[in-house]
């Protein structure tokens, strides 16, 4: 079963991811767009629901190390190709399509290479990986504009983690459960098993009366761990002005639970 981790990328990582994708897009644009001008290349972060939840299926480049998706909206590869080539010629759609596809594949591969991914696959239309555009699952979503041409590029959390790895929290050495438990505080109670009393006697009991138990003075009392029961036997003693228990033996039977 695929495990999907819920949670957004933090602000600083989103900014770092945007800067990284911006620089890759700028370098890519300078090689592919005939009208390239730095001022006309823009990359903006955000959710961009219009692209990621509506419209045609995205083009996805999946890899075991994460996925990247291009949400082109109503534009196809041919629209991208024509814009990059600076032509509006509606003819030769095949050529424009190949160019658009090659260009976007190249952009995807640049980003994968930045993530250190070497197993690359080409973009293909897919609706199977729509999670790739969900920011609530940690996707990084960037709207890219080359002049009037706009589309959305999204990387899933796995790829985002490779591109801008989360800063490791201050490493704290782990402590064994055993030694951590040693410091846990427990409540122990010293209890005398006073004996059996008639219910009538108990309900008639008044202040000042003496209830006599059947426990001998020299008999041991029990040490109870709160929530568990008796664990040891001991004798009542004094320690300065306080009562104390001097332990004698382990208790084998449990009866009382406080």
* Rounded least distance, CB 174 to other proteins, Å: 18
Specify whether the CB–CB gap between 244 and 223 falls below 8 A. no
67: helix, strand or coil? strand
Does residue 128 interact with other proteins by CB under 8 A?
no
* Rounded least distance, CB 1 to other proteins, Å: 38
Stretch that binds other proteins, among 47-55, 70-78, 115-123, 181-189 (CB under 8 A): 181-189
Does residue 217 interact with other proteins by CB under 8 A?
yes
Does residue 251 interact with other proteins by CB under 8 A?
no
* Rounded least distance, CB 65 to other proteins, Å: 45
Angle at CA 224, nearest 5°, toward 255 and 192? 75
What is the secondary structure of 112-160 as a DSSP string?
A: HHHTT-------EE-STTGGGG-GGGT-EEEEEEETTEEEEEEE-HHHH
Does residue 214 interact with other proteins by CB under 8 A?
yes
Question: What letter would DSSP give residue 56?
Answer: S
Stretch that binds other proteins, among 8-16, 50-58, 139-147, 214-222 (CB under 8 A): 214-222
* Rounded least distance, CB 202 to other proteins, Å: 7
Measure the CA–CA gap between 164 and 14, rounded to whole angstroms.
Answer: 8
* Rounded least distance, CB 172 to other proteins, Å: 22
Determine which residue in the list 90, 183, 252, 253 makes contact with other proteins, applying CB under 8 A: 183
Buried b (16+ CB within 10 A) or exposed e, 211-226: eeeeeeeeebbbbbbe
Site of interaction with other proteins (CB under 8 A): 181-200, 202-203, 205-218, 221, 223, 225-226, 231-232, 234, 236-239, 241-249, 255-258
């Amino acid at each position: 079963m695929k495990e999907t981790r819920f949670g957004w990328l933090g602000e600083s990582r989103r900014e770092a991811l945007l800067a990284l994708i911006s620089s890759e897009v700028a370098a890519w644009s300078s090689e592919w767009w005939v009208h390239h001008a730095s001022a006309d290349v823009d990359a903006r972060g955000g959710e961009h629901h219009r692209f990621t939840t509506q419209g045609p299926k995205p083009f996805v480049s999946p890899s075991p190390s994460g996925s990247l998706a291009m949400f082109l909206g109503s534009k196809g590869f041919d629209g991208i190709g024509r814009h990059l080539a600076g032509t509006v010629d509606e003819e030769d759609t095949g050529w424009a399509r190949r160019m658009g596809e090659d260009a976007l594949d190249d952009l995807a591969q640049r980003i994968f290479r930045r993530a250190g991914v070497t197993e690359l696959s080409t973009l293909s239309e897919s609706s199977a990986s729509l999670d790739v555009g969900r920011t609530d699952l940690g996707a990084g979503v960037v709207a890219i504009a080359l002049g009037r041409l706009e589309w959305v590029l999204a990387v899933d959390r796995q790829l985002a983690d490779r591109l801008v790895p989360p800063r490791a929290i201050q490493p704290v050495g782990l402590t064994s459960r055993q030694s951590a438990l040693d410091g846990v505080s427990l409540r122990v109670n010293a209890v005398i098993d006073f004996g059996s009393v008639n219910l009538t006697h108990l309900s008639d009991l008044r202040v000042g009366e003496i209830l006599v138990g059947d426990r001998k003075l020299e008999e041991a009392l029990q040490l109870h761990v709160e929530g568990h029961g008796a664990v040891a036997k001991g004798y009542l003693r004094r320690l300065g002005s306080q009562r104390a228990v001097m332990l004698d033996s382990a208790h084998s039977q449990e009866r009382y639970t406080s």
